[in-house]
Structure 1
Amino acid sequence: MFTGIVQATCDVVTIEKNPGFHTLEVSMTSELTKGLQTGASVANNGVCLTVTRIEDHRVFYDVMEETLCVTNLALLQAGDPVNVERSLCFGSEIGGHILSGHIHTRATVRKLMHTSEHYDLELQLDEQWLKYIFYKGFVGVNGCSLTVGKVSTDSFMLHLIPETLALTNLSQLSEGDEVNIEIDTQTQVIVDTVERYLSERSLG
């Protein structure tokens, strides 16, 4: 489990492409690797990955084909920064909202508006997932817990504060880039339950 509060951006060192999976090597800070063990879960761009090897402060993960198809990890290149969060520990403060690290889909940056006063992103999302996005609700974007702004027929807005830009890789996005999306599970359950109820009622 994760909170969506990114702890650092860490650079991808190498990507070894094997049949059916990629091995991702990420250079992490000494603070992030303290106490980290093989088998632990770490979110990279919001994707829950299992640590397979640790060498000094370089951490290795095997990313399976299914994960590569759903997330933007398949688009990474050596030198790219990823948002990193260690898994939630019992008793830790939850500053964002609970995330599982299981990405539902990707969204495309349609528009980026950056002025001295604000930094806004418009993300285009498929209709099947947009029904779970609500104004003032929560969404995980590249592992960041963010509050949703205006929602339209095929996109939604995000209004980012300087602290978020300083600690994450969202400040480096360009139009056309793809970001990982994890929708709020509670919202999904409510929407699906209501849809099923209305469907059953119409048939009854």
Structure 2
Amino acid sequence: MYTGIVHGAYTVTKIRRRPGLNSLSLTLPAVLLEGLDIGASVGIDGVCMTVTSIDGALVSFDAMQQTLSLTTLGDLEEGQYVNVERSAKQGAEIGGHLISGHVDATAELVAIEQPENNCTLRFKLPSDLMKYVFAKGFIGLHGCSLTVAELEKTSGIMSVCLIPETLRSTNLGRLGVGSRVNIEVDRQTQAIVDTVERVLAERELQG
């Protein structure tokens, strides 16, 4: 599990592409290397990844075909920045909302608005996830815990507002129109919606 407060955006140093598998290597700072072992879970752009090797500051992860197909990790190139978060420890402050690292889908950035000292990003959501997203609710974008500012139900456009610190410390400020981001809906909201739907369906069957 992750807190949704990423530690920073770091460069993809090397990508080794093999049939059905990409090995991603990142150069991480000392603060993220402390206590990091092979087998540990690390959030990479919101995707829960397992450390496969550590060579000094160079840390590697393997992304299987399903991960490459479902998330943006399959589109990465060397030199790009990814958001990184170590897994949450017991007793850690939850400054955002809990993120599992199991991405639901990707969403396309369709508009960027940047009035002075503000930034609003608008994304087109997949239709099957719309029922789990609400204005003022939580959403995970590239591993960042964010609040939904607005949601246009008819168009499926969701807006989030970013403060300067978020733009500085994550890769969201590097996105352009047409970029895709990994999205994870709030699991608590998803559980409530699915439970209500199931109960209503059972009542309807019972007459």
TM-score, length-scaled by structure 2: 0.96
Distance 1:179 1:53 in 2: 26
Matching residue of 2:169: 167
Distance 2:202 2:2 in 1: 35
Deviation at 1:198, TM superposition (A): 2.0
Matching residue of 1:184: 186
Deviation at 1:69, TM superposition (A): 1.0
**Deviations, residues 3-38 of structure 1 (Å, cap 9, x unaligned):** 000101110011111111100011111111111110
| 2:43 is aligned with 1:43 | yes
Instruction: Point out 4+ residue stretches in structure 1 off by more than 4 angstroms.
Output: none
Matching residue of 1:137: 137
Q: Which moved more, 1:53-62 or 1:85-94?
A: 85-94
Given residue 158 of structure 1, which amino acid in structure 2 is its aligned partner?
Answer: V
Deviation at 1:87, TM superposition (A): 0.6
Deviation at 1:41, TM superposition (A): 0.5
Q: What SS does the aligned partner of 1:94 have?
A: coil
CA contact (8 A) 2:148 2:158 kept: yes
Matching residue of 1:124: 124
Structure 2: runs of 5+ lacking an equivalent: none
CA contact (8 A) 1:3 1:98 kept: yes
Query: % of aligned pairs identical?
Result: 47
Deviation at 1:175, TM superposition (A): 0.5
Distance 1:90 1:119 in 2: 33
TM-score, length-scaled by structure 1: 0.97
CA contact (8 A) 1:130 1:155 kept: no
Distance 1:60 1:101 in 2: 17
Matching residue of 2:15: 15
Given residue 13 of structure 1, which amino acid in structure 2 is its aligned partner?
Answer: T
Given residue 171 of structure 2, which amino acid in structure 1 is its aligned partner?
Answer: N
The aligned runs of 1:41-190 (5 Å cut-off) are 41-153=41-153, 154-190=156-192
Q: What SS does the aligned partner of 2:73 have?
A: helix
Structure 1: runs of 5+ lacking an equivalent: none
The number of equivalent residue pairs is 204
**Deviations, residues 134-181 of structure 1 (Å, cap 9, x unaligned):** 011001100000001111121211011111111100000000100000
